[in-house]
Amino acid sequence: MTGTADVIDVDAMRGQGMDFTFTPEQDGLRAALGRALTRSYDLDNRKEIIASPTGWSEDVWTTLVDMGLTAIPFPEAVGGAAGSIVDLVAAAEVLGAHIVVEPWVPSVVLAGGVLAAVVERSGASAGGGTEDAGLAAHWLTQIAEGSVVAALAHEEGRGTPDPSLHANTAEAVPASAGDSGHVLTGEKAAVLAGASAVVLVVTAQLDGKLAVFLVERGAGGGDAARSGDAARGGGAAWDSGAARTGGANGGGSAITAQEFTTIDGRRAAHLRFDRTPALLLAADSEDLVRDAIGGAVVVLAAEAVGAMERLLATTAEYVATRKQFGVPIGSFQAIAHRLADMKIAFTKANATLLYTTALAEAGLLTPRDVSVLKAQVGRYGRELGEAAIQNHGGVGMTDELVVGHLHTRILAVNALLGPAEYHQRVLGAPRT
């Protein structure tokens, strides 16, 4: 699909090798993952995990690692499974249905996606680029094996992931001022797993162009130690108070992290960099970052669609069994029509996801396609979630029912990497 195409021949796409169904292997992974989460990730267990000091479970993380989820998208050269975007979507739908809070998306999809893009572009440039592929590959290996948690520090609180609008800056410094050669200044907002990650992948302006940097735990004075498994993260990696000077890489200030829990139970942080030592991974990287973010939007949309599917099934079961005046409330016209609207909303969101995933698999995904997906899933996800709560009545608002938790996951996904309203504006803007 080209950026100027308005109508696509689906039959022709199938003729080009596109498929809109999961393979038996992907169905097997989904079934096994669903069974594992059904056994160990009910609503009460999830609440306990969210309330724990780390905000996620090492045992659940080990299960995801053992099932190969952390290795899916990465090349075999770094210990990955050389999987595709379809493999990621297949897993993400199940994780979304079980509203998993473990840092699979921030580590594997977001940070890992950018690192993998750095490695790929470096290979394509045949050594002629400025990418530090060796450093990126080193961390990719550890992300793939699940031994570390990484985070992508990209959004800056503007409600848009557009790389051209980012204001964080980096500057080169003399070798005597720090062993990294660059320092970062600025703020990043709502960084998933940002306070506990072992390594941060950070986007910032360098000489007027977007670049990708790496900040390792200990840079700028961050404390490398925590109780438990220090390698994976999950404790306070950066300063939680005022910035301090005298960093591990020499002279830099600490990263100040304000950690919080998102509405859907995940840990995130606002990060402030004050001349923080950083390692340059790739210069002039706006297209690289934009493509990696596009892939992440597809995976996040799959999480939301997974949550939507479970909401629909939960609501359909409830209205079929809950009785008023001696009959199921699903027999009432208003309830039946609302449930029908929910089914339509899910079908539209799911169809858009499958179509966009097929485009990505075929290498035809454009920024416009990404915006269509994000806008559709955000819009229909909200509609479906609100209708589910309405159909459940007052109990739908309670913390004891999974309905509200699924709805907040859908809302949280909508807020990440640009909400539906932003992407609708992108689609309405004149094409250049």
Domains of the chain: 10-113 (1.10.540.10), 148-284 (2.40.110.10), 290-428 (1.20.140.10)
Give the mean model confidence (pLDDT) for residues 192-221.
Answer: 87
pLDDT of residue 133: 85
Give the mean model confidence (pLDDT) for residues 296-300.
Answer: 98
pLDDT band at residue 327 using 50, 70 and 90 as cut-offs: confident
pLDDT of residue 16: 52
For the stretch 312-325, pLDDT in tens is 999 999 889 987 88
8 Å CB contact between 282 and 294: no
Report residue 197 as tokens.
């990650």
Q: Which has more pLDDT, 240 or 120?
A: 120
Residues 6+ apart with CB under 8 A from 382: 410, 411, 414, 420
Tell the residue number behind the tokens 């990294």, with chain if given. 180
- The C-alpha atoms of residue 424 and residue 146 are separated, in whole angstroms, by 36
pLDDT band at residue 225 using 50, 70 and 90 as cut-offs: very low
pLDDT of residue 243: 33
Give the mean model confidence (pLDDT) for residues 26-38.
Answer: 97
Tell the residue number behind the tokens 């689609």, with chain if given. 427
> What whole-number percentage of the chain has pLDDT above 90?
66
Least confident of 12-21, 255-264, 290-299, 353-362: 12-21
Tell the residue number behind the tokens 């990719």, with chain if given. 140
pLDDT of residue 124: 53
Helix (H), strand (E) at residue 287: helix 286-321
Query: What are the distances in angstroms from CA 372 to CA 7, 293, 342, 408?
Result: 14, 14, 20, 21
Residues 6+ apart with CB under 8 A from 353: 89, 298, 301, 302, 305, 373, 377
pLDDT band at residue 396 using 50, 70 and 90 as cut-offs: confident
Reduced DSSP (H G I as helix, E B as strand, rest coil) percent helix, strand, coil of the chain, to 5: 50, 15, 35
For the stretch 145-196, pLDDT in tens is 999 999 999 998 777 777 776 666 767 665 444 455 799 999 999 999 999 9
pLDDT band at residue 248 using 50, 70 and 90 as cut-offs: very low
Query: Under DSSP, is residue 212 helix (H, G, I), strand (E, B) or coil?
Result: strand
Report residue 327 as tokens.
């009959």
- The C-alpha atoms of residue 73 and residue 78 are separated, in whole angstroms, by 11
